[in-house]
A and B are shown apart, each in its own frame.
Chain A
Amino acid sequence: MEAKYNFADRFGDQVLRCSKCGLCQAVCPVFGAMLRPSYSARGKMLILKEVMDGTIELSDELIETLFQCTICKSCFENCPSGVDVPEIIRQTRRDMVQIGSCHPAFEGMNEVLKNHTNIYAEDEPEDFERERNKKAKYVYFIGCVGSYREDEATMSTLDLLDRLKVDYTLIDEVCCSGVLEDLGYQINERLARKNIDLILATGAKAVITGCPYCSRTFNSKPQYAELNDKGIKIIHVTQFLKGMDFGVKTDKLVTYHDPCDLGRHCGIYEEPREIVRKIAPRFAELRHNRVDALCCGAGGGVRGAYPKNSIAMARRRLQEVEEVGADVVLTECNSCVHNLSNAKLRKQKFRIYNISQFINELMEGTE
């Protein structure tokens, strides 16, 4: 008997393998912040089991949990039964979109990207006082959050690249649209084409980006395969900066937050730390780090659809920063910086920066 929904077809055996042990509750950021069983990976699997056995159908009533997952992969890393909840959620969201049951914020994002260049439908990015679309060795791809929400951080990173005399250019970039694949939609081909054309036109041999989500999208999605085919490398800025000497140090106590998209999704844990240790001899790990890092709460579309819960998750992560007594939290993902900064309380005196931004501040002597 063929399954009614694609998620059941592709992942039914995994959904059934969930033994309901509940261990995911220890690591799920949504559950951890909201303490609501329906939000944990187990809750989602129990609901999908009932869909599979016909007790309920996919419907609007399920949106609140099926669309509230940051796709951080912590559950999968800790599931004794190896249930790939993130993949199952991605497919289920596609099924939900097909039947017309999608979170309005995600539907909205898909629509916005049909008609605009970025997820915020804002048409005037900061110009960052730099030329775009030149011929150069590297393209620096900022990403939507960096362009429209964390412009200060982006400016700092670009200043750093200038100090290091990197031959790069910005482009009239548009949203990589990779996020749509997490929301139940697909990459916007028009936008992908635009990015590819702009990148190729610069003659660059590599694209550096501060956004690990964009770098993952360029590296793994077929719509961007042409870049790989033409030998263009995609590098996250931490991979680019690794090995360089900046000649600056701080005596502040510094810690590092692993972005999910760089860490669990790409396995990049040590390169950023190498850079951080070079500039910050006083380094402390957060309680949950590397593969166990606690998600900041912004991913999987959650910051757009459930902003208050998203910020509550970030606040939980920041408690770990407080615990360790750090003066500075470094990361390299604008989405993390954005969500963590929004969540930081006034009484919390530590500062939050991208690594590249912080190095620039040190070099400028303004940190």
Chain B
Amino acid sequence: MDETVKKALLDIVREENFSDSLIDLISDSYDASEHKHRPDVAVWPQNTEQVSAILKLANEYKVPVTPRGAGTSLSGTTVPVQGGIVLDMLRMDKILEIRVEDRLVVVEPGVVYDQLEKALDSYGFFFPPDPASGVVSTLGGNVAVNAGGLKGVKYGTTKDYVLGLEVVLANGSVLRTGSRCMKCVSGYDLTKLFVGSEGTLGVITEITLKVNPKPPAIATCTAYFDDMADAGSAISETMRSGILPRTLEFLDDQCIVALNQGTDLNLPEVAAMVLAETDGFTQEGADYEMDKVIEVFERNNARGITRAYSPEEAEHLWTARKSFGGVITRLKNNFIVDDTTVPISKLPEMLTGVKAISKRYNVPIATMGHLGDGNLHPNILYDGIDPEEIARVRKATADIFKLGLELGGTLTGEHGIGLAKAEFMPLEHDEVAMEVMRSIKRLFDPNNILNPGKMGLEV
């Protein structure tokens, strides 16, 4: 990188917020995916003015800029594949406003999700999306990728809660989108354009979010299924049974085997385990919905249905689902987790299809996921050293994407395209859509400095 650029960056952020040390360049090469690439420099801006000055500089010298939050992307979204500047947003970490009377909060992008949840708790409010990475992931990252989460079934995803943004554009100008109102249809909905744009259209520097009152009542249950298709049907039937649970999580037999190997939970080695949770402002309401869930489960041959009657019991029921992340790497030391999502009615077919793919390529796949909104997480396990095995893994991954698309699904329900699914974009989006997306990218970023190489939009 040009020394002029480095010096200019130093002038903007000062020494304590700049690094071209080896240790930082290495750490910033990675996120939580299998991809890596070194940047040339890392900077930690403190405010919007600095972000603006940095982008203006980068645009002038045509230096790539990759924004970064907690770096927990599973798709390579924050890996600086063309080098350049990593724009680490962690030091912009203030909760600027909490206004429950307007049902909103305003935060800087570096605020960790959990940090916001804890701050809202004392007001009796919560921010629904609840991504599993919430203890570390930042709201900037959540918005940039349109993160989903454990409560997506009932509450939707991040995009449903973003009221407005402040975004710095590639030329350094600062754009404000949206409104502080619950409803606003004034002008184009620019907010929705940036949510999920994975840092390719602008750098988010302030976020206005809608928040919900927190329902105090919860009902939780787990159930086992001897036939995976039954589990799939149980879930899709629940979603049309006239109620809306807040969580419907699924673990397949491979997950159960992994859990039994890595913990002392001693789960029955069945085809699938499902966890359901309902909530409400009265316990009667939550229980009514849970009764319906259990009816559906029973109709679909569920057994061993266990219902929680206290918060401690509920926590116990969640243990299996929450422990899964911890046991994966004990089976094989590498894994790819995808988030292929299909229409709810297609779940049984999708699940069976994934099993067939696993067999076809002799690659273990442990599937779990937020099946209540059709969002699978197939975890493809492999050793990472054997090139022949890696080749089979790539084929299996591709086949899972193709299957999902054939069933009317999408490549990604919540993790984003990043690098991981970039090459498959044309399979999901026809040429008209691709060209429109590329045009938008060219409009916002004519020099292609904003997170270049991502989302399969390279011209």
A→B interface (CB under 8 Å): 13, 16-17, 19-23, 25-26, 35-38, 40, 42-43, 46-47, 50, 56, 61-62, 64-65, 80-82
Total count of chain B residues near the partner, CB < 8 A: 38
Determine whether B29 belongs to the interface, using a CB cutoff of 8 Å to chain A.
Answer: yes
Known A35-B44, A61-B21; contact A20-B31, beta-carbon cutoff 8 A: yes
B→A interface (CB under 8 Å): 19, 21-24, 26-33, 44, 68, 70-72, 88, 90-91, 93, 110, 112, 114, 133, 135-136, 325-330, 333-335, 384
Contact A17 B26 (CB under 8 A): no
Contact B27 A46 (CB under 8 A): yes
Residue in B19, B72, B112, B384 with the greatest tally of chain A CB atoms within 10 Å:
B72
Contact B26 A80 (CB under 8 A): no
Known A25-B70, A26-B135; contact A19-B22, beta-carbon cutoff 8 A: no
Contact A80 B329 (CB under 8 A): yes
The distance from the CB of A182 to the nearest CB of chain B, in whole angstroms, is 20
Smallest Cβ-Cβ distance to A43: which chain B residue? B27
Smallest Cβ-Cβ distance to B33: which chain A residue? A20
Q: Please measure, in the bound complex, the distance between the C-alpha atom of A47 and the C-alpha atom of B70, giving whole angstroms.
A: 17
The distance from the CB of A48 to the nearest CB of chain B, in whole angstroms, is 10
Contact A13 B333 (CB under 8 A): yes
Contact B22 A61 (CB under 8 A): yes
Pick from A16, A17, A35, A56: contact of B22, CB under 8 Å:
A56
Contact B72 A56 (CB under 8 A): no
Pick from A43, A50, A80: contact of B326, CB under 8 Å:
A80
The distance from the CB of A89 to the nearest CB of chain B, in whole angstroms, is 14
Note all chain B residues with C-beta closer than 8 A to A36: 19, 24, 44
Pick from B23, B28, B72: contact of A61, CB under 8 Å:
B23
Beyond A26-B112, A35-B90, A80-B327, 5 extra complex contacts between A and B, CB < 8 Å: A17-B329, A20-B30, A26-B114, A37-B88, A40-B27
Pick from A17, A19, A37, A82: contact of B32, CB under 8 Å:
A19
The distance from the CB of B64 to the nearest CB of chain A, in whole angstroms, is 18
Smallest Cβ-Cβ distance to B384: which chain A residue? A16
The distance from the CB of B80 to the nearest CB of chain A, in whole angstroms, is 12
Contact A21 B23 (CB under 8 A): no
Note all chain A residues with C-beta closer than 8 A to B19: 36
The distance from the CB of B236 to the nearest CB of chain A, in whole angstroms, is 30
Known A22-B70, A26-B135, A35-B91; contact A62-B23, beta-carbon cutoff 8 A: yes
List, sorted by A's number, 11 A–B pairs whose CB atoms are closer than 8 Å.
A19-B32, A19-B329, A21-B32, A37-B27, A46-B27, A46-B29, A46-B30, A56-B22, A61-B22, A81-B326, A82-B330
Pick from B31, B133, B135, B333: contact of A16, CB under 8 Å:
B333
Note all chain B residues with C-beta closer than 8 A to A80: 325-329
Note all chain B residues with C-beta closer than 8 A to A64: 21, 23
Note all chain A residues with C-beta closer than 8 A to B329: 17, 19, 80-81
Note all chain B residues with C-beta closer than 8 A to A61: 21-23
Known A20-B31, A37-B71; contact A62-B22, beta-carbon cutoff 8 A: yes
Contact A21 B325 (CB under 8 A): yes
Note all chain A residues with C-beta closer than 8 A to B33: 20
The distance from the CB of B194 to the nearest CB of chain A, in whole angstroms, is 24
Smallest Cβ-Cβ distance to B74: which chain A residue? A21
Q: Please measure, in the bound complex, the distance between the C-alpha atom of A268 and the C-alpha atom of B118, giving whole angstroms.
A: 28
The distance from the CB of A6 to the nearest CB of chain B, in whole angstroms, is 21
Note all chain B residues with C-beta closer than 8 A to A46: 26-27, 29-30
- Total of A-B residue pairs, C-beta within 8 Å: 91
Contact A47 B32 (CB under 8 A): no
Note all chain A residues with C-beta closer than 8 A to B114: 26
Pick from A17, A26, A43: contact of B136, CB under 8 Å:
A26
Smallest Cβ-Cβ distance to B323: which chain A residue? A80
Contact B326 A82 (CB under 8 A): yes
Q: Please measure, in the bound complex, the distance between the C-alpha atom of A23 and the C-alpha atom of B93, giving whole angstroms.
A: 18
Smallest Cβ-Cβ distance to A60: which chain B residue? B22
Q: Please measure, in the bound complex, the distance between the C-alpha atom of A37 and the C-alpha atom of B33, giving whole angstroms.
A: 16
Contact A35 B93 (CB under 8 A): yes
The distance from the CB of B386 to the nearest CB of chain A, in whole angstroms, is 14
Q: Please measure, in the bound complex, the distance between the C-alpha atom of A87 and the C-alpha atom of B135, giving whole angstroms.
A: 25
Smallest Cβ-Cβ distance to B44: which chain A residue? A35
Q: Please measure, in the bound complex, the distance between the C-alpha atom of A141 and the C-alpha atom of B110, giving whole angstroms.
A: 46
Contact A22 B330 (CB under 8 A): no
Q: Please measure, in the bound complex, the distance between the C-alpha atom of A43 and the C-alpha atom of B19, giving whole angstroms.
A: 15
The distance from the CB of A191 to the nearest CB of chain B, in whole angstroms, is 33
Contact B135 A65 (CB under 8 A): no
Note all chain A residues with C-beta closer than 8 A to B71: 22, 37
Q: Please measure, in the bound complex, the distance between the C-alpha atom of A23 and the C-alpha atom of B113, giving whole angstroms.
A: 13
Contact B23 A22 (CB under 8 A): no
Smallest Cβ-Cβ distance to A68: which chain B residue? B23
The distance from the CB of A232 to the nearest CB of chain B, in whole angstroms, is 37
Q: Please measure, in the bound complex, the distance between the C-alpha atom of A274 and the C-alpha atom of B4, giving whole angstroms.
A: 62
Note all chain A residues with C-beta closer than 8 A to B135: 23, 26
Known A19-B329, A21-B325, A81-B329; contact A38-B27, beta-carbon cutoff 8 A: yes
The distance from the CB of A123 to the nearest CB of chain B, in whole angstroms, is 37
8 closest Cβ pairs, A-B complex? A80-B326, A43-B27, A38-B23, A37-B27, A38-B27, A26-B135, A81-B329, A35-B90
Smallest Cβ-Cβ distance to B325: which chain A residue? A80
Contact A19 B328 (CB under 8 A): yes
Known A20-B32, A23-B135; contact A47-B330, beta-carbon cutoff 8 A: no
Note all chain B residues with C-beta closer than 8 A to A25: 70, 136
Q: Please measure, in the bound complex, the distance between the C-alpha atom of A149 and the C-alpha atom of B28, giving whole angstroms.
A: 39
Q: Please measure, in the bound complex, the distance between the C-alpha atom of A38 and the C-alpha atom of B91, giving whole angstroms.
A: 15
Note all chain B residues with C-beta closer than 8 A to A56: 22, 26
The distance from the CB of A295 to the nearest CB of chain B, in whole angstroms, is 17
Contact A65 B325 (CB under 8 A): no
Residue in B44, B326, B330, B334 with the greatest tally of chain A CB atoms within 10 Å:
B326
Note all chain B residues with C-beta closer than 8 A to A37: 24, 27-28, 68, 71, 88
The distance from the CB of A42 to the nearest CB of chain B, in whole angstroms, is 8
Q: Please measure, in the bound complex, the distance between the C-alpha atom of A199 and the C-alpha atom of B338, giving whole angstroms.
A: 61
Known A19-B328, A21-B32, A26-B135; contact A50-B26, beta-carbon cutoff 8 A: yes
The distance from the CB of B178 to the nearest CB of chain A, in whole angstroms, is 28
Note all chain B residues with C-beta closer than 8 A to A38: 21, 23-24, 26-28
Pick from A13, A20, A42, A65: contact of B23, CB under 8 Å:
A65
Contact B136 A22 (CB under 8 A): yes
Contact A23 B136 (CB under 8 A): yes
Note all chain B residues with C-beta closer than 8 A to A50: 26
Smallest Cβ-Cβ distance to B134: which chain A residue? A26
The distance from the CB of A281 to the nearest CB of chain B, in whole angstroms, is 25
The distance from the CB of A185 to the nearest CB of chain B, in whole angstroms, is 22
Smallest Cβ-Cβ distance to B326: which chain A residue? A80
Q: Please measure, in the bound complex, the distance between the C-alpha atom of A33 and the C-alpha atom of B28, giving whole angstroms.
A: 18
Q: Please measure, in the bound complex, the distance between the C-alpha atom of A61 and the C-alpha atom of B334, giving whole angstroms.
A: 28
Residue in B30, B31, B335 with the greatest tally of chain A CB atoms within 10 Å:
B30
Contact B133 A47 (CB under 8 A): no
Residue in A22, A42, A64, A82 with the greatest tally of chain B CB atoms within 10 Å:
A22
Note all chain A residues with C-beta closer than 8 A to B335: 19
